[in-house]
Homo-oligomer: A and B are copies of this chain.
Amino acid sequence: MIVTEHIDFQTKGNAEMTDLTAKVTAAVERSGLLAGVAVIFVSGATGAVTTIEYEPGLVEDMKDALERIAPRNVEYAHNERWGDGNGHSHVRASMIGPSLTVPFSDGKLMLGTWQQIVFLDLDNRPRYRRVVVQIMGE
């Protein structure tokens, strides 16, 4: 059986992190399914999903690491062509990736105790975001 849900939210951009764990957990509970996977997917090229221990220190530390991989202030061919100044956003999003697959069993996501599902808004401006939660199971 397959259930498709969405999570809609406002972000501030600039590597802001949003904790989606409670909403994904609720979607799995609403599905009534006991075993399967929740696929969390970002429709859009400047956002990404991963897991992390969601606490303010690591939110800052991820920003620093993203600056190492794709610094904001180097030259991007994307910016020269399109002028929207978010070349670094695209590169960062492609590196981390738009999809995450989390298994569940007995109706519960199999996350670690200190592990949250997070959305990273890597764009350079506030965005209204929609994340897909596709639940497949039995």
Q: Residues on A close to B: CB < 8 A?
A: 1-2, 4, 35-37, 39, 41-45, 50-53, 55-58, 60-62, 64-65, 68-70, 74, 76-82, 87, 90-91, 93-103, 105, 110-112, 114-115, 132, 134, 136-138
Contact = CB atoms under 8 A, between A and B. Distances in A.
A90 to B, nearest CB: 5
A31 to B, nearest CB: 13
B115 A98 contact: yes
Given A43-B110, A44-B114, 12 more contacts: A4-B105, A37-B136, A43-B111, A44-B112, A53-B78, A58-B91, A58-B94, A62-B94, A96-B97, A99-B102, A103-B134, A136-B137
A41 B132 contact: no
B95 A95 contact: yes
**How many copies of the shown chain assemble into the complex?**
3
Contact of A115 (B44, B95, B110): B44
Contacts of A87: 57-58, 61
